[in-house]
Amino acid sequence: MRAPTGHTQALFAGPADASGFADTVLLARCPNLRRVLATFACPLKAVRLLRLAAGSVIREHCDPGLGYEEGEVRLHVPIHTNAGVEFYVAGERLLFEEGYCYCVNTSLPHRVSNRGSEDRVHLVIDAQVNAWVHDVFRRSCAVPTLAPTPQSYEAFRTLLLNDPALQQTLHAIADEKEFIDAVVRMGRERGFSFDQAEVARSHGIAAHTASTPVACPPAAWLPVRVAYGDGRPRAEWVYFAARRYTEPFFTDSVRQALQSPFARTFRHQGPLASCSGMAPSGFIFHMSRCGSTLISQMLAALDRVLVISEAPAIDDVLQADVYVPGIKEDEQVQWLRAVVSALGQAQAGQKLYFIKLDAWHIHKLPLLHSAFPATPWIFMYRDPIEVLVSQLGVYTEYV
C-alpha cells in the first residue's frame, strides 16, 4: 500500500525517514484502506497487507529498531483472522481480534503460527512517533494475552522445560531423526498434538522464547548469551547435561553441547535467573597472550574444580550499561551475581569455582568487586613487547 518510491514489490521496511515512502497504485484501488490510513495523524512508512496461510509459521526473529522508545512503531490491524492463530512476543501469546489496532514491539523475539483452516490477513503499518502517537498511547491499554494452546507444541515445550527427567531421556538420543520421532511420541503420550515437521522447524534455529520461566536444574541449563530487548536481561539457555567443561574456552563448550539434537532444538530465551550455583572461588584477570589459558586448563584438570573461561554471558552483563542507558549500579550488580551463579553449576565432587575473564574485564574491576567483595583475584601479565610480538605472529598466520 505504501513503500519506498511507491513500488508495489518493495516489501522491506526501507529508509528511516518516512519522506522516502509513497502510496502505491494498489492503494489507489482501495478506498476503504485509504480512509483507515487517513485516521493515523502521523508520518507513515511501509504499509502492507500481509497474509499468513493456514498451516504456515513465521519463525522466531527480531526486527531491531522498531521500538516506541526508538521513535517508530509497528501497528497491526487484523482484517481476517481465526482462533487458531498464535502470535507470541517475548514468550507471551497475544490476542489479536478483528476491529482493533495493536502496537507490537517487534524488536523483541516474536513468532506466529496459523493453526487454523483459514488464512490470516493483517494490515501492517510502520509509523514514526509524534505527538499524536504519544497521545494515543497514553489513552491505550495493554494487548490482551492468552494461555498457550493446551495441546500445542508450544505447550509441550513448556512442560519439558520444567521436567528434568524428560530432558535427560531426550538428551540421550543422538540420532536426529530418532530424536524427532521420540519428541512426537512422548508428546502424544502426554496428550499433545503436533507432528515431526513442527519439531523439525525448531531444530537448530535461533533460540526460542519460553512461554514460562524455565526451572534451572543443577548442572543442566546454562546461560550462553544475555540480551536486553526490553531493558531487562533475557538469557539464552542451552542444555549442557552433567558434563565437565574441559575445553579451553566456554564458547568451545557451547559448541560441544550443541552437538546434541536436544540442546539444538530446545535452546530457548528466558529471564536471567540465579540457579543457586557455587559462589566464585577466584577470578583470573589477564593481559592478552600471557598464558592465562594454560592456568585455567590446569585448574580445570582437577576433579574438584569448575572453570568457566571467558563466557560471553558475563561479557553481556558487564556491558549492560551500554545496552540499558541509565542502569543503576546495584541493578547491574544483581544481574552480574545472577549470571555468575547460573554458570556455577557444580558437577559431582566439584567444590571450587574459578572464572577466567576476558583481558578487557580488568576495566570492570570496581563492578566485579562490588558484586563479589570477598572473592580473591589475580592479574596475569607479560612483557608488553612479548605480547605485541605474539599478536603479530597470530595476525601473520591469519593473513
pLDDT top residue among 206 and 93: 93
Least confident segment among 168-177, 304-313, 346-355, 382-391: 382-391
Residue pair 277/371 in contact by the 8 Å Cβ criterion: no
- Residue 206 pLDDT > 60: no
Residue 321 C-alpha cell reads as 550499561
Residue 256 C-alpha cell reads as 560441544
Q: Which pLDDT value is given to residue 269?
A: 87
Q: Which pLDDT value is given to residue 361?
A: 96
Q: Which pLDDT value is given to residue 192?
A: 87
Q: In this prediction, what percent of the chain has a pLDDT beyond 90?
A: 60
Q: Which pLDDT value is given to residue 395?
A: 55
Contacts of 51 (CB under 8 A, 6+ apart): 119, 120, 121
Taking only the tens place, the pLDDT of each residue in 212-263 is 555 565 568 999 999 997 788 999 999 998 888 889 999 999 999 999 999 9
pLDDT top residue among 240 and 17: 240
Q: Which pLDDT value is given to residue 97?
A: 95
Residue pair 36/87 in contact by the 8 Å Cβ criterion: no
Reported confidence tier of residue 284, pLDDT bands at 50, 70, 90? very high
DSSP β-ladder status, 120-128 and 44-52: antiparallel
Taking only the tens place, the pLDDT of each residue in 336-395 is 999 999 999 988 889 999 999 999 999 999 999 999 999 999 999 999 898 888 888 755
Reported confidence tier of residue 18, pLDDT bands at 50, 70, 90? low
Q: Which pLDDT value is given to residue 12?
A: 62
Q: State the Cα–Cα distance between residues 246 and 257, nearest whole angstrom.
A: 12
Q: Which pLDDT value is given to residue 341?
A: 94
- Residue 398 pLDDT > 80: no
For the segment 263-292, the average pLDDT, to the nearest whole number, is 90
Taking only the tens place, the pLDDT of each residue in 117-149 is 999 999 999 999 999 999 999 999 989 998 877
- Residue 175 pLDDT > 90: yes
8-state DSSP, 165: H
Domain annotation for the chain: domains and CATH numbers? 2-146 (2.60.120.10), 150-202 (no CATH), 204-398 (no CATH)
Q: State the Cα–Cα distance between residues 54 and 160, nearest whole angstrom.
A: 27
Q: Which residue in this structure is represented by grid cell 519439558?
A: 160
Nearest to 201 by CA among 148, 253, 149, 154: 154
Reported confidence tier of residue 56, pLDDT bands at 50, 70, 90? confident
- Residue 33 pLDDT > 50: yes
- Residue 14 pLDDT > 70: no
**In which order are the strands placed within the sheet that holds 2-4?**
21-23, 2-4, 44-52, 120-128, 72-80, 102-104
CB atoms within 10 A of CB 161: 24
Q: Which pLDDT value is given to residue 9?
A: 67
Averaged pLDDT of the chain: 88
Reported confidence tier of residue 399, pLDDT bands at 50, 70, 90? very low
pLDDT top residue among 150 and 374: 374
pLDDT top residue among 209 and 190: 190
- Residue 180 pLDDT > 80: yes
Reported confidence tier of residue 307, pLDDT bands at 50, 70, 90? very high
Q: In this prediction, what percent of the chain has a pLDDT beyond 70?
A: 91
